[in-house]
Structure 1
Amino acid sequence: METILSIRNLNKRYGRVHAVNDLSLDIQKGNVYGILGPNGSGKSTTLGIVLNVVNRSSGDYAWFDGKLPTHEALKKVGAIIERPNFYPYMSAQQNLELVCKIKGIGYHKVQEKLELVGLWERKDSKFRTFSLGMKQRLAIASALLNDPEILILDEPTNGLDPQGIRQIREIIQLIASQGTTILLASHLLDEVEKVCSHVLVLQYGKVLYSGTVAGMGSQQSYWELRSASLEALQTALAQYPDLSSITLEQDTVVVQAKSGLDAGLLNKFLSERGIYVHHLMERKRSLEQQFLTLTETKS
C-alpha cells in the first residue's frame, strides 16, 4: 500500500514545553486517520510541521515515499488548519474562482466542488452571509479544488452546532468514499469514532496509541453475566483462571480476562457448579472509554 506521509521521531520544543515528543506515524493511501487528543496535546503543531508552516526541532517526515521535495508534494495536499478566510463581499463562486486563478486550476472545478459540499444553490451568496458551518464547507470545497491525494483538516467541526457537525461528517465520509486519504485532528471522540478508520491518541505531545479505531476498541473487551444468584455467580467466577477483574454493576457481573475468554468454556465451568446464566455477552469498550483509560493511566 502506498505511503502518503511518513513521520519519524518528530519533536518540537517551545522552550521547556515539549509540544511534539518523538512522534512516528505512517499515513497509508485510502484511509481516514484521526489525531485525537485534548487541547495542547500537539495535534495542530504536528500538522503545522508536515505542512511546512512550523519548524521542527528534530526528527523527519517525508511525503509520498520521499519521491517529491516538500514544496512539490504539498501541491498534492489539500489542507484547512485555520478558520475559513475568504473575501466577505464576494460570492462563494467568486471566492473559489479566485483560488483557482491563484493555483492555476480551471474554473470548471468550482461547480463540482460546490455541489460536493452542498453549496451550489448558494453559489451567488456573499461569503459574509454564510453561517459558520457553510463557511467551513466552502473552505473544504476550496481545499479540494486541486483534487488532492490527501485532505488535512484541523478541528473541522469546532464551534459548529449539531446539524453543522453532522453535515461536515457526511462530507468527510463522502470524500473518503471517493478514495481521498484524510488526516483529521480533533478533540471530539465521537467525531473520530464515526469518521476515522485509524487513530493516533496524543497527550502532552506523546503517542499513547496508534492503530485502527476498531483495534483500539477491542483492546479491552469485557463480559457481562447475569444469573439468579449474583453472589453465587461472583463466588464461582473468583475460581475461574485468567480473570483480571470481577465487578458487580447493578444486576450484572462484569468480568475482564487477562487474555481471550472462551464463552463456551466459561458457561461449562459455571454449569458444573450449578450456576446457570441467563445473560452472557461480550462488550467492546467505546473509544471514549479507551481514551479515558489511556489518558488517566498516563497522566
Structure 2
Amino acid sequence: METILTINNLDKKFGRVHAVNNVTFDIKKGNVYGILGPNGSGKSTTLGIILNVVNATSGNYSWFGGNMETHDALKKVGAIIERPNFYPYMSAYENLKLVCKIKGAPIEKIDEKLALVDLLDRKDSKFKTFSLGMKQRLAIASALLNDPEILILDEPTNGLDPQGIRQIRDIIRHIASLGTTILLASHLLDEVEKVCTHVVVLRKGVVLYTGTVNGMISNEGFFELQANDNLKLQNILMQHNAVDKIEENEGKLMVYLKAPLEAAELNRHLVGHNIYLNHLVKRQYSLEEQFLQLTSPSK
C-alpha cells in the first residue's frame, strides 16, 4: 500500500513546553486516520509541522515517499487547520472562484465540490449568511478544489450542533469512499470511532498508540456476573488462570481477563463448582474506555 506521509522522531519544543515528543507514524493511501488526544496533546502542532507552517525542533517527515520537495508535495494536499475564512459579502461560488485562481484549479470544479458538500443550492448565497456548519462545509469544498490525494482536517466538527456534526461525518465518509486519504485531528472519541479506520493517540506530545481503531478496541474484554453467593463466585473465579482481577459494582462482579475466555466455557467451569449464575454478560472495552486508560495521568 502506497505511503502518503512518513513521520520520523518528530520533536517540537516551545521553551519548556515539549509539544511534540519523538512522534513517529505513517499514513497509508486510502485510509481515514484520526490523531486523537486531549486538548494540548500536540495534535495541531503535529499538523502544523507537516504542513510546513511550524518548524520542527528535530526529526523529519516526507510526503509521497520523499520523491518531491515539500512545496510541490503540498500541492497534492488539501487542508483546513483554522476556522473557515472567506470574504463575507461574496457568494460561495465567488469565494471558491477566487480559491481556484490561487490554487490554479479549474473553475469547472466548483459546482462539483459544492454538490459534494451539499451546498450547490446555496452557491449564490453570501458567505455571511451561512451557519457555522455551512461555513465548515464550504471550507471542505475549498480544500478539495485541487482534487488532493490527502485531506487534512483539524477538529472539523468543533463548535457544531449535532446535526452539523452528522453532516460533516457523512461528508468525510463519502470523500473517503471516493478514494481520498483523510487525516483528522480530534479530541472527540465518537468522531474518531465513527469515521476513522486508523488512530494515533497522543498525550502531552507522546504517541501512546498507533494502529487500527479495531485493533485498539479489540481486547480480552470483561464479564459482568452475578450469583446468589457472590463471595463464593469470586473465590472460584480468582482460581481461574484467565482471570486478571475482579471488582464489585452494584451487586455485580466485573471480571477482567488476561487471556481469552468465552462465556460458555466460563459457565461450564462455574457449574462444575456448583455455581449457577443469574446474570452473565461479556463486554468489550469501548474506544472511550481504552482512550481513558491510555491517557490517564497515572500511566
Q: Same fold by TM-score, threshold 0.5 exceeded?
A: yes
Give the TM-score of the pair, scaled to structure 1: 0.96
Distance 2:142 2:229 in 1: 62
Distance 1:63 1:298 in 2: 36
Q: After the TM superposition, which of the residue ranges 221-230 and 115-124 deviates more from structure 2?
A: 221-230
Do structure 1's residue 188 and structure 2's residue 191 form an aligned pair? no
- Runs of 5+ unmatched residues, structure 2: none
Q: Which residue of structure 2 aligns with residue 57 of structure 1? A: 57
Distance 1:170 1:71 in 2: 31
RMSD: 1.4
Tell me the matched-pair count.
Answer: 299
Q: Which residue of structure 2 aligns with residue 108 of structure 1? A: 108
Distance 1:16 1:219 in 2: 37
Q: Which residue of structure 2 aligns with residue 235 of structure 1? A: 235
Do structure 1's residue 17 and structure 2's residue 17 form an aligned pair? yes
State the shift of 1:192 in Å. 0.8
Do structure 1's residue 95 and structure 2's residue 95 form an aligned pair? yes
Distance 1:289 1:114 in 2: 38
State the shift of 1:278 in Å. 4.5
Distance 1:125 1:220 in 2: 53
Tell me if the contact between 2:11 and 2:58 (Cα under 8 Å) persists in the aligned partners. yes
**Amino acid paired to 1:52:** N
With over 3 angstroms needed to count, the CA separation of the structure-2 counterparts of 1:67 and 1:24, relative to structure 1, is: same
State the shift of 1:281 in Å. 3.3
Structure 2 counterparts to residues 216-235 of structure 1, below 5 A: 216-219=216-219, 221-235=221-235
Q: Which residue of structure 1 aligns with residue 2 of structure 2? A: 2
- Runs of 5+ unmatched residues, structure 1: none
Q: After the TM superposition, which of the residue ranges 11-20 and 255-264 deviates more from structure 2?
A: 255-264
Q: After the TM superposition, which of the residue ranges 260-269 and 37-46 deviates more from structure 2?
A: 260-269
Q: Which residue of structure 2 aligns with residue 211 of structure 1? A: 211
Q: After the TM superposition, which segments of 4 or more aligned residues of structure 1 sit over 6 Å from their partners? A: none
Tell me if the contact between 2:220 and 2:260 (Cα under 8 Å) persists in the aligned partners. no
**Cα deviation code 1:81-126 (max 9, x no counterpart):** 0111111110001111111111111111100100110100000000
State the shift of 1:251 in Å. 4.1
State the shift of 1:3 in Å. 0.6
Give the TM-score of the pair, scaled to structure 2: 0.96
Q: Which residue of structure 1 aligns with residue 122 of structure 2? A: 122
Q: Which residue of structure 2 aligns with residue 256 of structure 1? A: 256
Q: For 2:11, what is the secondary structure of its paired residue?
A: strand
State the shift of 1:181 in Å. 0.6
**Cα deviation code 1:165-185 (max 9, x no counterpart):** 111111111111111110000
Distance 2:153 2:181 in 1: 11
Distance 1:184 1:196 in 2: 9
Q: Which residue of structure 2 aligns with residue 172 of structure 1? A: 172
Q: For 2:68, what is the secondary structure of its paired residue?
A: coil
**Amino acid paired to 2:91:** S
State the shift of 1:282 in Å. 2.4
Distance 1:278 1:230 in 2: 11
**Amino acid paired to 2:288:** E
Distance 1:272 1:220 in 2: 23
